[in-house]
Structure 1
Amino acid sequence: MAVSIRITEKSDSVRHLSSVDGKMKSLIRSIGAIEYHCDFDSYEFLVKTIIGQMLSNKAADVITQRFEKICGGVVTPQAVSGLSVADLRGVGLSNSKAGFILQLTENVLSEKLNFSIFEAMSDAEVLKALTALNGIGPWSAKMYLIFMLCREDVLPYEDGAFLQAYSWLYPMVGQKPSEIAAACAHWRPYSSIAARYLYKALDMGMTKGLPPE
């Protein structure tokens, strides 16, 4: 069951971001309230995240649809466990991604990986646990924290979509991870919410024009 969260001008996160960042304040005012959902199928989320690594959204969607089809329409550990590397290669996955997905599946079925404990763990602890898995790097782990666990203070500077929107709103700021981390320190403890507004600007096509003033 997914949880729906609505962020408005009265939310603590918006009040904070608007008070410390003039550009973000203008962006939030232009976009208004946002609503998002936190998913709870951790296995499917990570599988699809692995599929999407280093791919365009369009390419990832095509492969994901093929993958879902050979799983019988629903991506579960049980369905994937019956597939081979050759099966996964057949839908367009690389050999390494196929191996990562099958290893993830084995870890879930053997209960070596227990997603239920993540809820009580800190962001750093979840990042450490996830990046210890083959095929899960910082980008994948941060996407999990933001979109699965709905953590509010994750800065996804490894993400291409975030960087695209960030460079649009802050064109004069350095784009190196250390520079972004320093420049966005004042967003804390709501870095993820700021990122969600940047993602929303990208989705709405706002980045094709000038940033709001």
Structure 2
Amino acid sequence: MERINCDFSPMKEILIEDITNLITALQNNMEAIVDENNCLLSNFEKTKEDFLSIEMKAATFYLNCYLSPFTDKYPELSVCVQNLSRLRHGGLIVIEREDSLESLVKPGISIGAELTHTLLESIFYPGSPLHDGAVMVNQNQIVSATNVLPLSGRFTGDQKLGTRHRAALGLTEQSDALVLVVSEETGRVSFAFKGELYPIMTQVM
């Protein structure tokens, strides 16, 4: 069983309210569909958007749960990925948890500094000699940069993912690490955990 700390009441309340509203909307759609004069296609589109919003909020909530036992620097990480996303600067941040990553990661350049969002952002600034590869975080420290992660081979053909996302999946398929990914192309932020990718909403982190 995954060890998580999910005592974040405000976000729980938001999720419960959103899910309740979605259930109400679905019930209203079910009642309205018997009337052949009603076209519910726009309602379904809105429902889909609401569901995706709930999914992203839930992913953000659980991201905090998964990180909180292993680092106190969630606020710094949050500010970092929001700024990277806004500027469309790609980023790949590994948060070590219980599993040793020594045999899975090709080590990069040692940093050994306290984790701050400004330092992380400077590492991933385009043109920086450290911006390629992954940053390793252990507890509240940036351990190293330019680390090379194993790539997942699961997504091929039409399911195209960038190298950062494949690296995030590859490491989390083989360990309990959590990996934050910021897309350089879209600015979207996701996290990989247990071999799955979850989009997150930076504005509610």
Q: TM-score range by the shorter chain?
A: under 0.3
**Which of the pair has more CA radius of gyration?**
2
TM-score by length of 2: 0.27
Q: Which has the higher strand share?
A: 2
